[in-house]
Amino acid sequence: MSRRLKLPPRKNRVPELLRRLAVAYPHTGTALQFQSPFQLLVATILSAQCTDVRVNIVTPPLFARFPDAAAFAKATQMQVEELVKTTGFFRNKAKNIRAAATMILTEFGGEVPGTLDELVRIPGVGRKTANVVLGDAFGVTGVTVDTHVGRLSRRLGLTRKRDPVKVEMVLNKLIPRAEWTRFSHRLILHGRAICQARKPDCANCPLADICPKVGVRPLPMMTPT
């Protein structure tokens, strides 16, 4: 059997990790389809415990019926439930979306706010949803800790934390701010394509030799740029 080699400290591995993720996943951005920050907020709420593919099937007719916060605020619970039923947990999602629309109208003049502190006050919006909206609708960088980012951060030895907020705080210190949003997207893509929860494809993983779970080779020397 191969003997596992001791890897460099996590801070020393981060630049190489970012480089390899950028090579493997050069194009970043949310897979959710939207035409406005509010639509992205709604789509992200719907994506909880649901695939982006399913959300993208549900949102076109949903947004055709209710295109903005004003329209959702006037909708009935039953009307929204009927259109989002296939995303799971549809009653709570419909309730949160309608409450979010009402709050955005009454407290933010009908426009989705552009700061984390304001966004997390909105019903159904936690730090994950807020960071998605900030990064993909407003260009404000943030680390989005979903199940993939949390799982891979632990597998890659970046943190042992399990609470998403604590994982985010650790990654904020390790990852350069300019890379926060891109890093999140790339780790999500990697979690879906290669490093899946039940059956990670370590044999075809570009991060295998710098991953504490499978690494058996030394970190290659990086060429100065």
Q: Which residues are catalytic?
A: 128, 146
204 secondary structure, DSSP code: G
Q: Please report where in the chains the tokens 């994950």 appear, as a residue.
A: 128
Closest Cα partner for 202 from 158, 167, 156? Answer: 156
Instruction: Output the CA torsion sign for 173, 174, 180, 186.
Output: negative
H helices present in the chain, as ranges: 10-24, 37-46, 52-65, 69-74, 77-84, 90-108, 116-119, 127-137, 147-155, 164-174, 180-193
Q: What single-letter amino acid sits at 130? A: A
What does the block give as tokens for 15? Answer: 């630049």
Give the pair of three-digit tokens for residue 203: 């044999």
Question: Could you give phi then psi for residue 83, rounded to 5 degrees?
Answer: -85, -20
Residue count of the chain: 225
Three-state SS for 208? helix
